[in-house]
Structure 1
Amino acid sequence: MSENVVVIYSGGMDSFTVLHKALRDGKTVHALSFDYGQRHKKELDYAAAVCKSLNVPHKIVDISAINSLIGGSSLTSDIDVPEGHYEEPSMKQTVVPNRNMILLSLAVGYAVSLEANEVYYGAHSGDHAIYPDCRPEFVEKMSDVCRIANYTPVEIVTPYIKDSKTAILTDGLKMGLDYGETWTCYNGRAKACGKCGACEERLEAFRENHCTDPLSYE
């Protein structure tokens, strides 16, 4: 019998690759997505479609009530989404206060209920400059806490913590994954904007892999 694991699955490129990596490793994946009051729900629609096609158990949990506590981000408040690369200081406007600690805590509770010992999420090196809760030191300390917070010890697993978005895409392409099944853009319009930090990094990853992004752009 394969091992139960929880994968925090946003519907974006990174978590899409992590989801498939866990499946390729023979894990029994339970995908978990969150509606935390983010600017749009398009990623969640993509996540639901992928899990349905893979027959992966999937929960979308509405925690949007916390939006009143974690405002001040362009992803959760009425603030324009900045354009440019993640390394630019303006991208700090996309930081949602304490987001990953909150989401990981909920995912760990779900893991304990499933008697699962691992929670996967898609932190990677490209996030380190802007997002403190994607850095190795955060993951290490969070994992330490999650090993002792319950009778069931839970490990936080970040397969790509030392890798760039380009390297994640390289790995996914080797697995034959279709990234047309993912959504990255911070704007939830019919087509991806191509200008926000998420789009910039995604397009850079495709360029560096010498291939074309299957998504349509404005």
Structure 2
Amino acid sequence: MKTIVICSGGLDSVSLAHMVADQHELTRLVSFDYGQRHRKELDYAALAATRLGVPHDIIDMRTIGAALTGSALTDDIDVPDGHYAEETMKITVVPNRNAIMLTIAFGVAAANGDQAVATAVHGGDHFIYPDCRPAFAEAFNTMQKAALDGYADVSLYTPFVHRTKADIVTEGAKHNTPFAETWSCYKGGAHHCGRCGTCVERREAFHLAGVADPTVYDDPDFWQAAISAHEGK
């Protein structure tokens, strides 16, 4: 199955790219610059494309992202520390981001004769992000079948949508993903901060998967306190 992967440069999407390269026919990686706080993750997506020997398209969505205000990922708003499933993490929602990106990616796939668009949404995203949930994925796939009817047959591939981040680490390890060459942190410092929701989730996922975490964190032990605080509520 000729498949393009939406790749942010994070652990999830880079692991997905390696899995697709092993199990299907990976044709390209597509990334999006929507004016996020930093571009470090896009550099890691480019590294993945080079490593896997496929083209890398970076779609400029900065003018669109500028209109999607109110998120800590696009505006000058502090990224909160703590567990990913805390209410405070909803400030990281960029409204309709996945729907917009997927629509563009489906157009790219149709134009290039690809059969599937793969995205690494997973079970841990469901609480915060409505456009990462199974109901959205199913509805979007149906919508795109209608949008491309008679022109192209492209399907949405979401192998992690019912799985955990720990499952992604396990799968990534199976397909030799170089985890040190992925970027998750929302803060974009010299190292992963270890305190924001995505750092806490990343650190926890390696622990639960029983896989060594090569990531350098500024605060490598904060994740345990964040998880305890969340579980105590």
The verdict on a shared fold, with TM-score over 0.5 as the criterion, is yes
Alignment of 1:50 onto 2:64? no
Please give the TM-score of this superposition, normalised by the length of structure 1: 0.96
1:75, 1:99 → 2: CA distance? 11
Residue 28 of structure 1 corresponds to 26
For residues 138-153 of structure 1, what are the structure 2 equivalents within 5 Å?
Answer: 138-150=136-148, 151-153=151-153
What is the distance in 1 between the residues matched to 2:185 and 2:26?
29
**1:75 corresponds to which of 73, 81, 100:** 73
Structure 1: distance between partners of 2:55 and 2:159: 21
How far apart are 1:210 and its partner, in Å?
A: 2.7
Report the equivalent of 2:196: 196
Confirm or deny: 8 A CA contact 1:135 1:161 kept in the other structure: yes
Retained in 2: the 8 A contact 1:170–1:209?
Answer: yes
1:173 shift after superposition: 1.3
Alpha-carbon separation, structure 2, partners of 1:14 and 1:153:
26
1:172: which partner in 2?
A: 172
Query: Given residue 175 of structure 1, which amino acid in structure 2 is its aligned partner?
Result: H
Determine the C-alpha separation between the residues in 1 that align with 2:16 and 2:155.
15
Alignment pair present for 1:99 and 2:113: no
CA–CA distance in 1 between the matches of 2:177 and 2:2? 22
- How far has the Cα of 1:174 moved from its partner? 2.0
Q: Could you tell me whether the CA contact under 8 Å between 1:179 and 1:214 is conserved in 2?
A: yes
- Partner residue, 2:163: 163
Give the conservation status (yes or no) of the 8 Å contact 1:5–1:118.
yes
Work out the number of aligned pairs and report it: 216
Once residues 85 and 140 of structure 1 are traced to their aligned partners in structure 2, the CA distance between those partners, rounded to angstroms, is 28
CA displacement at 1:176 relative to structure 2: 2.5
Offset at residue 60 of structure 1 (A): 1.0
- Work out whether residues 21 and 52 of structure 2, in 8 Å CA contact, stay in contact via their aligned partners in 1: no
Aligned-pair CA distance for 1:56: 1.2
Give the Å deviation of 1:148: 1.4
Quote the RMSD (CA, aligned, Å). Answer: 1.0
- Give aligned-pair identity as a percent: 47
Residues 32-74 of structure 1: CA deviation (Å, up to 9, x unaligned): 0000000100000011112112211111111101122101000
Match of 2:37 in 1: 39
Structure 1 stretch displaced more, 157-166 or 55-64: 55-64
1:26 corresponds to which letter in structure 2?
H
What does residue 222 of structure 2 align with? none
Unaligned 5+ segments in structure 1 are none
Aligned mates of 1:64, 1:120 — CA distance in 2: 22
1:156-211 per-residue CA deviation (whole Å, 9 max, x = no partner) reads 11010010000110111122322001000001110110000100000001111233
CA contact (8 A) 1:31 1:56 kept: yes
**Further displaced range: 176-185 or 133-142:** 176-185
Paired residue secondary structure (1:61): strand
TM (norm. structure 2) is: 0.90
Equivalent-residue separation in structure 1 for 2:49 and 2:65 (angstroms): 26
